């Protein structure tokens, strides 16, 4: 009885694809295409890094700070008493979470001579400086 062959007797020749039979999209691109892709990728990565530094870093275009409510209330009280020379300012209440964006305005309420008045506040700069108006 003959022995069973598990593999046919086929010569072992490595398979080499033919470029003529391949479709045009499967053919290798011109050699400079890889370099161009790397250059474009590096330029995009550099632009993203620059945007991140400028947005969140030094100038901070994308960073907004929030004013400390207690500090603003104390500052408004001090301006009303010392700069506007209004006596008997017993309480000042300002809204929380006010953004430090130049031109942004909000109203605080102050108890002056036992009556509540509205005091306008306008943000002057990104670092938190503000202007306190005269009570309305």
Question: Comparing 11 with 112, which gets the higher pLDDT?
Answer: 112
**pTM of the model as a whole:** 0.55
In whole angstroms, give the CA distance from residue 63 to residue 56. 6
Nearest Cα residue to 26 out of 37, 35, 39, 17: 17
In whole angstroms, give the CA distance from residue 61 to residue 126. 10
- CB of 111 within 8 A of CB of 89? yes
Tokens of 76: 């408004």
Give me the residues paired with residue 75 across strands: none
Residue 117: how many other CB atoms lie within 10 Å: 16
Tokens of 3: 């022995």
56-102 residue pLDDT tens: 565 556 666 888 999 999 999 999 999 988 888 999 999 999 988 89
Lowest-confidence range among 22-26, 39-43, 55-59, 65-69?
A: 22-26
Size of the chain in residues: 136
Q: Measure the CA dihedral 115/120/125/128, to 10°.
A: 30
Question: Comparing 1 with 108, which gets the higher pLDDT?
Answer: 108
- CB of 67 within 8 A of CB of 105? no
- CB of 74 within 8 A of CB of 110? no
Sheet holding 105-112, edge to edge: 89-93, 105-112, 115-123, 130-132
Q: Using a pLDDT cut of 90, give the percent of the chain over it.
A: 34
């Amino acid at each position: 009885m003959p022995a069973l062959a598990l593999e046919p007797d086929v010569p072992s020749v490595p398979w080499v694809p033919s470029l003529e039979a391949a479709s045009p999209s499967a053919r290798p691109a011109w050699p400079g295409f890889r370099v161009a892709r790397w250059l474009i990728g590096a330029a995009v990565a550099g632009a993203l890094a620059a945007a991140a530094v400028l947005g969140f870093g030094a100038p901070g275009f994308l960073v907004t700070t929030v004013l400390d409510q207690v500090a603003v209330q104390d500052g408004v009280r001090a301006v009303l008493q010392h700069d506007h020379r209004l006596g008997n300012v017993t309480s000042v209440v300002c809204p929380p979470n006010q953004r430090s964006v130049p031109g942004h305005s909000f109203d605080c309420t102050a108890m002056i001579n036992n009556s509540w008045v509205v005091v306008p506040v306008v943000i002057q700069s990104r670092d938190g400086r503000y202007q306190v108006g005269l009570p309305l």
